[in-house]
Chain A
Amino acid sequence: MLKRKLTVVLGILVLFSMVLSACAPAALPAAQPAAPAVEGEASWWRTAAQTAGCEGVTLRGISESTPPSRYAADVLAKAFEAETGIKIELEATSWDEMYTKAINDMQAATGIYDFVYIEQDIIYQYLANNYLTNLTQLLADNPELASPDFDFAKFTTFIDNFKDAEGNIYGVPMEAFLKVYLYRKDLFSDPAIQEAFKAQYGYDLAPATTHAQYRDIAEFFTQYGRDNGLDLWGTTVQGNTGHASSFYEFFESIAPTFGVYNWGINMDNWKATVENGGEMNSDKAKEALAFWVDMLNYAPPEATASTWDEVAASFAAGRAAQGWVYGENAAWIATDPDRSRVVGNVGVALPPVAEGVMEDAESGVGYIGYYDGGAFGLPVSSKNQLCTLLWLQYIGQESVQADWAIAGSRIVMESTYDDPKVQEVDAKVDGYYTLMKEAGPLFRGAPPFPFHAALREVVQPYIWKALSGELTPAEALDQAAAAADAELVNLGYGQ
């Protein structure tokens, strides 16, 4: 009896798996956006692939599952394969998993991955460990494989993040965004709201340029939502109390606008505490954290559970009147009715700053927010260096940039801004791309720390505790700075 039942169950399992395997190749992927045209047999790419002996080779890469990566996997990889006969397998996974696997591979020099996603903030760790191949050198050594359509000079200044001290380049940028200030144009331009706001605060309602204004607006809309029975709050806060995203929002988007740069670490002696010459627990930093934690009072209740994902989702659901949102989300929030309830109502502006910060940013001393993004790099351990070089040049052509920009709201080349398709989208997202082009230099990526992740792990619990109210902002930063000093010594910096 039991035996027969087990046989039946096993039979079903086996059948099920056979049916599934039979279906698998038959099912076609959903329709994709138009791929770049294939130039045919005699193309430069085909010849180069033959020269390098790459036909039939499979290249494997790993990236975070973002729209730009998926576009690379679904569209560019297929076009490249048709063009050259080189197959691309791009593993798109979650942010945490991507790092573990890429680092394991490069650390052990196993050569599983031929190209890896390098986020702007992790590149210094990778360079310090000699994980990456010098692309400038590799191109110079193999002139016959240098595509006429590829030139590092065509990229925006964002590519500077992927250079070493001598100016050699280690990554081909594939995405770049600003973390900008988004606001709800429909609410900000409603005459009744404008009147009520002016009556209460004595000045006109407009996108905030100072932190005081930001707070007023947040308070006003939270009250407005409550009075009208709406699911509306004054601001977003990327305040997850168990995830690195809150650390990043504070140190890369909030603290700089109060004049605290580089996580408050003195890069001359690698110290964080004020006593040792750092700024992590300075009065300005404490003011910044107090301001940000206070914003939780005007944020939707999910704020303390929100990473960058949920912040964008909350804003797209129309639950916040303004907020700091990663620019990669700006386009879909503003244009995609399948995912967003605020289509057509998204305004884009520069984030509010404290006095003197804008001057700092213009002179290059400081910055007003986070310039995020990443590149594909070539691990030293890859066994297919030259074939990967071709792929990296392929995605770095000017001709593939515009469609990619529209699919993933990312721009890495100057010329992409002028493309008519991009300009069309630009109009729909309230000039996000124009803002990125013009104000881009005011933003900056993470500081060049080779110990980025290790230090973040030590500091972030204090930020979480400040957000959950377990510590006051001042206590949190005092403890965080002390812990940072100790960890830096432990890591061998600033003895």
Chain B
Amino acid sequence: MKKHLLLWAAYALVLVLLPSLFSSVLGISILNQMTIWILFALSYNMMLGQGGMLSFGHAVYFGLGGFMSVHALNLIADEVLVFSITLIPLVGGVFGLLAALFIGSFSTRKAGTVFAMISLGIGELIVASSLIFVDFFGGEAGVSGDRTYGPAFFGIEFLQDSEVYYLGAFWLFVATLLMYLFTQTPAGRMANAVRDNPERAEFIGYSTRRVRFITFCAAGMFAGVAGGLFAINYEFITEENLNALTSGRVLLMAYIGGLGFFIGPIIGAVILTLMNSLLSNYSEMWMLYLGILFLLTVMFLPKGFAGFIMMHRAAWNNGKMGSLVLPYCLTALPAGLFLTAFIGMVELSHADELLHFLSMDLANDSAFSWFVLAMLAAIGAGGVKLARPRLAAAWEHANAAAQEAKS
């Protein structure tokens, strides 16, 4: 119990300290995006990781929550509503919940492919309607609002992005805590049981449909809260925030991070937000890299990055982590070289004549440039091949020892 309290305190502390570490405009802007995406990815994990429901339309709840929040901002600006904008995420949450209550009432009967297809259909339906109902969704331009109206919150008017960060971090902390606690309740545990074995769950007294419905609604609500944070941060929202692209992105985050673990989506959201905001500045190809990263994760790390970390528990328990460090480095170095050369080739093929890469000036019409990169890639690939047996042996050793200790 004490250990848990410490972890939560550390989490809060990190959230509070982050803006001091990354205080640049770009830094704060990335942190703000992270709060939104972490919260959204956690809510997605509730659905897929905890409840076993593969949704291709989770952005619906995020987007609807966001649209209602922007409309609420406008009503506050018009003084129709009078409350502090710090409560806007609640507006998003309520409408995310309402949407989930309605859609979940008929879509949670089955999990698996049928559920996935219904979620896809509903997602497309909402996107199509958003282009029809222009008054509410603002057409392709979207709707915009202004977060600086309404009663000030202890003198804070949210003119600065850093003020918005603390607001987002607060809601993120509260939501993370609530989502974690949900996993510890009868409903949360039964969600796992239904995910693992829906048939047996029915024979111990639970309606799988009701269990899924509860998880579905909770996930929809937290997605709505994330949508509310989005509304406050960007002060506008468009049809793009509820379409399949956004749904796909949150699926990517949760999966790359690791579905089975509570912390997984947080890792995934951090990685993808960083890639999105940093890589996109350097390369037009970043979506391509993202696609490759995703496929490699699905193929080689089915439990995501969190799962990869957790794989080392046995070795850690047995104090054998040290023996893995050197083999890891020996594999990672050539792998990094291969990756660098590969990226170099991708970038070179799309460069306008000259590419400044690794303090080399490469020309895309010079055979020599291509030759250098190809050689680097070959050396890297060869190095990985040489280092792999050693890594495998070290891994075997560390885990075998751990098993002995267990028995």
Instruction: Indicate whether A and B interact.
Output: no
Please give the residue numbers on chain B whose beta carbons come within 8 Å of chain A beta carbons, in ascending order. Answer: none
